Structure 1
Amino acid sequence: MVLFQPRVAPVVGAASADAFDNRVHVDLTHLRSLERHAKALNLMPRQPASSVLSGRHGSRLRGRGLDFLELRGYLPADDVRNIDWRVTARTGEPHVRVFTEERDRPALIVVDQRMSMFFGSVYAMKSVVAAEAAALLAFALLAQQDRVGAVLVTDAGVTECRPARSRAGVMHFLQLLASANQALHADAPAGAPTSLDNVLESVARLARRDYLVIVLSDFDVIGARSEALLSALCQHNDVVLAPVTDPLAEQLPDDLGQVVSDGTVQAWLDTGDAQIRSALDAVSQQRREQLLQWQQRYGLSIAPLSAGEPTVAQLYRLLGVSRGRR
Structure 2
Amino acid sequence: MNFKRVVVTGGAGFIGANYVHYALSAHPDWQIVVLDKLTYAGNLENLESVMNRIEFIQGDIANPVDARKALRGADAVLNFAAESHVDRSLLDPGAFVRTNVEGTLVLLEAARQEGVKRFLQVSTDEVYGDLHGTDHHSLETDPFRPRSPYSASKAGAEHLVFAHGISHGLDVVVTRGSNTYGPYQYPEKIIPLFITNALEDKPLPLYGDGSAVRDYMHAYDHASGIDLVLHRGGSGEAYNLGAREQISGVQVADAILAALGKPPSLKQFVTDRPGHDYRYSVDPAKAEALGWVRRYAFSEGLSETIRWYLQNRAWWQRVRAKKEHQSLMQTWYEGR
Give the TM-score range, shorter chain: under 0.3
Bigger share in helix: 2
Bigger share in strand: 1
Structure with max Cα Rg: 1
**Looking at both structures, which has the greater relative contact order when contacts are Cα pairs under 8 Å and sequence separation is at least 6?**
1
TM-score by length of 2: 0.24
TM-score by length of 1: 0.24
